[in-house]
Structure 1
Amino acid sequence: MSNKDLLAFVELERALPDKRKAEERTTDFLDIYTQAPNEQLAAQADRCLDCGNPYCQWQCPLHNHIPNWLELVRRGKLKQAARTMLNTNPLPEICGRVCPQDRLCEQACTINTGFGAVTIGNIEKQISDMAIENGWYDIAIPAKIGKKVAVIGSGPAGIGCADYLVRHGVDVVVFEKAPEIGGLLTFGIPEFKLEKSVLLKRREHLEKQGIEFRLNTEIGKDIAFDDLRAEYDAVFLGMGAYEAVDGGLQDPENKAIIASLDYLIGVTNHNHNLNMQDATFYDLKDEDVMVFGGGDTAMDCVRTAIRQGAKSVKCVYRRAETDMPGSRKEVVSAREEGIEFVFHKQPTAIHKDGDKLSVK
């Protein structure tokens, strides 16, 4: 690889992989982005200034060593770059897909204003995908220290805890009540943002590290919590937060009002035949759909409804578009896919007349 071009960020524009056309991608749940060639990844990585005080790294909640692995990508050392990612992040291929980089590392990038940030998220996604696919990660099992820990829940917190412990010689058993690991990563995020195969590959890697997963096992029902405390040296609680926010509008008798997570989980369960007993499938084909909220979950709902064949989909948010808490790129994708946005509106009541709802 040639020497670093210190003016690459001026000479080369920020470039993400192409998106599939909206009319094509709204008919399926596949990834909306194409793959960038390795040469493009290296060229985009070369735009990094390797700042003495890397704001991207400090803005990242995990403080990932972003400039370090960008330099390795620039030099074509992809295997080393992937391993550097994994040193601070147990789920780089997932963060590359769903982490809001435009509000974190990429927002903090020194060249973001004026030139466009380095494409940190996409580089992380593609390099970590290569690592899983090609077995680049070191899965050497360290010497055991004679401790055993139970982890309840296999969402990001549970997986992160289990990964850290097993790397330090602890025997780890993860208990998950669902039929697959991931928590909301698997069941609450649509596949067009996070393919379910990504979680399956990560589980295979974690099992090779020595982590045991006991799926379809609910603590308090299948196994008593006191039994875990007696058998293990420690118990980590990572069950997640599934409580719905109803905005004061929920009516138990009005089944046309659906909680966002209930909807998303039901669609995932249906699309993948996961046989979750408490998941309800809502088919919104040919329906007029209105989603309240402006975060990433709202975007997941409107974009899922479009893919189900809804007649029309509106996103209603009580503040301005600039105040929306979700990722900007999700709003852009939603607009491309035909979602209508209504701002500065707050629903105060929902009325039912036969099969139709009206919003006040």
Structure 2
Amino acid sequence: MATQKMLKFVTLGKEMPAKRDATLRSQDFGEIYREFAAQKAAEQASRCSQCGVPYCQAHCPLSNNIPDWLRLTAEGRLQEAYELSQATNTFPEICGRICPQDRLCEGNCVIEQSGHGTVTIGAVEKYLTDTAWENGWVKPIRPGSERVESVGIIGAGPGGLAAADVLRRQGVQVTVYDRYDRAGGLLTYGIPGFKLEKDVVMRRNDQLREAGVQFVMNCNVGEDLTFDAIRGQHDAVLIATGVYKIREIEAPGAALNGIVKALDYLTVSNRQSFGDEVASFEDGTLNAKGKRVVVIGGGDTAMDCVRTAIRQGATSVKCLYRRDRANMPGSQREVQNAEEEGVEFVWLAAPKGFAGEGQVGGVMVQKMRLGQPDATGRQAPEVIEGADYLEPADLVVQALGFEPEDIPTLWGVPELAVTRWGTIKADFRSHATSLPGVYAAGDIVRGASLVVWAIRDGREAAESILSYLSQQSVVAAE
């Protein structure tokens, strides 16, 4: 009977949730996709071919049991479907919104490969968890028993919060330290509301707080509190700080006013969405209203910046990227959304310098072409001599990616081993660092990556910490 509800991809076409009209959605920071109706979610889930070897699951960093919860959704067993999705994913409603499914589960869907159009996995995942919250299926975290051991987690981003969830469910005492005033890391301050409305993140923060997780906010480790002090207060420590140091352009004029960092720009915009008063927005420094905006970069952060500038009322928004569309790292869906909203992409273009006196007035652009593949296998961009031109700009946003801060120096722990890239050196299975009882997870280990990888790392690290705490208890008892 169950199979009759599945394998509908031959008769049912792929259908994404409807998008709000581009003209209307570009006026606010609300999410752009409308909710799936129950019937649509069931229909789209029924298109799953129930593969013997599900490539969608194999290409999901969390190994989500996607075929089974699609089947349950098609059968109308939504609570069971939600519980199955929650079993492997701490934040399925967040992944459903912001994962680049076109590069992960959906991009590897078998029926997509056969030309029938992928199952819209992300939309169904989002629908399931939103429905679970509405119906009270998301239960409070109530440990069966309390443990005396405590763990300190540095960083309240997705990796740290995922680890806090796993540890707290096992009764471990958890304290999370973070530099910001609200938990969530990039989920809160780096990703705009049109992709991830903030009440979705705050709801999870509240769930952890009500479960007994302690949050120490506005805490800069190394300044407000030493790393040694945190280690001294806890039986184990997890470093999940993410990477926040932005790659800056080194070119003539790079110090001009009006050339800003992507994270600074996005953080201020998100603070505005919370209703905070932010001086750098009010005085126009980090506000695109009435300005010609140029964003430099081709990743998802660049897409967030261009779409934010549109909503702030920029007169024009252009995105410069040194490779072509096929070779850009950002989600193709996000590029399409940006184009619909009025962003102009300038492919094969890179900044040579900046023009202006005191205040930026333009970007000196070099035209590029793609040459031979580099060490990564991607075609390396080469300068086309004599094709430079000046692109007028009143606000330039640098979105070239992130690098790790020098944590051993900042925190006064030179014995904490790092790689030649500055990321923390940790065992790829256990996430253990060179310091006993100290673990690391997420971007601070793997470099700037996806939220879903941080969630996986945080969950794995928490399991390793639980094993470590149990071993320490055995040793103490002997």
- TM-score normalized by structure 1? 0.94
Structure 2: runs of 5 or more not aligned: 366-478
Which residue is 1:135 aligned to? 136
**1:302, 1:314 within 8 Å by CA — same for their partners in 2?**
yes
Which residue is 1:158 aligned to? 160
SS at match of 1:254: coil
> 2:179 aligned with 1:177, yes or no?
yes
Aligned length: 360
Which of 175, 194, 197 is the aligned partner of 1:195? Answer: 197
> 2:336 aligned with 1:344, yes or no?
no
SS at match of 2:349: coil
**2:318, 2:344 within 8 Å by CA — same for their partners in 1?**
yes
Letter in structure 2 aligned against 1:334: A
Which residue is 1:102 aligned to? 102
Which residue is 2:419 aligned to? none
By how many angstroms is 1:353 displaced? 4.6
**1:181, 1:203 within 8 Å by CA — same for their partners in 2?**
yes
By how many angstroms is 1:302 displaced? 0.5
Q: Deviations over 1:102-159 (max 9, x none)?
A: 0000001001131111110011111111223332134332223331101111101101
Q: Over aligned residue pairs, what C-alpha RMSD do you find?
A: 2.1
SS at match of 1:111: helix
Letter in structure 1 aligned against 2:134: E
Alignment partners' CA distance in 2, 1:178 and 1:146: 28
Give 1 or 2: higher strand fraction.
Answer: 2
Q: Deviations over 1:196-243 (max 9, x none)?
A: 100111112222333222223333333332222122101111111111
**1:290, 1:313 within 8 Å by CA — same for their partners in 2?**
yes
Alignment partners' CA distance in 2, 1:238 and 1:277: 30
Q: Deviations over 1:149-206 (max 9, x none)?
A: 0111110110111111112221111122211111011101110001010011111222
**1:352, 1:358 within 8 Å by CA — same for their partners in 2?**
no
SS at match of 1:352: strand
Distance 1:337 1:325, change over 3 A: same
Alignment partners' CA distance in 2, 1:207 and 1:323: 42
Which of 303, 308, 316 is the aligned partner of 2:307? Answer: 303
Structure 1: runs of 5 or more not aligned: none
Distance 1:251 1:130, change over 3 A: farther
| Stretch deviating more after TM superposition (73-82 or 126-135) | 126-135
Q: Deviations over 1:42-91 (max 9, x none)?
A: 11111111111111001001111111111111111111111111111111
Alignment partners' CA distance in 1, 2:145 and 2:278: 38
Indicate the percent of aligned positions where both proteins have the same amino acid: 45
Which residue is 2:362 aligned to? 357
By how many angstroms is 1:250 displaced? 7.6
Alignment partners' CA distance in 2, 1:281 and 1:350: 17
Which of 325, 329, 348 is the aligned partner of 1:325? Answer: 329
Alignment partners' CA distance in 1, 2:6 and 2:75: 14
- Structure showing greater radius of gyration is 2
> 2:246 aligned with 1:247, yes or no?
no
**2:256, 2:358 within 8 Å by CA — same for their partners in 1?**
no
- TM-score normalized by structure 2? 0.72
Letter in structure 2 aligned against 1:224: T
Q: Deviations over 1:7-32 (max 9, x none)?
A: 41011111111111111011110011
**1:132, 1:201 within 8 Å by CA — same for their partners in 2?**
no
By how many angstroms is 1:274 displaced? 4.1
**1:187, 1:264 within 8 Å by CA — same for their partners in 2?**
yes
**2:111, 2:118 within 8 Å by CA — same for their partners in 1?**
yes
Alignment partners' CA distance in 2, 1:333 and 1:43: 25
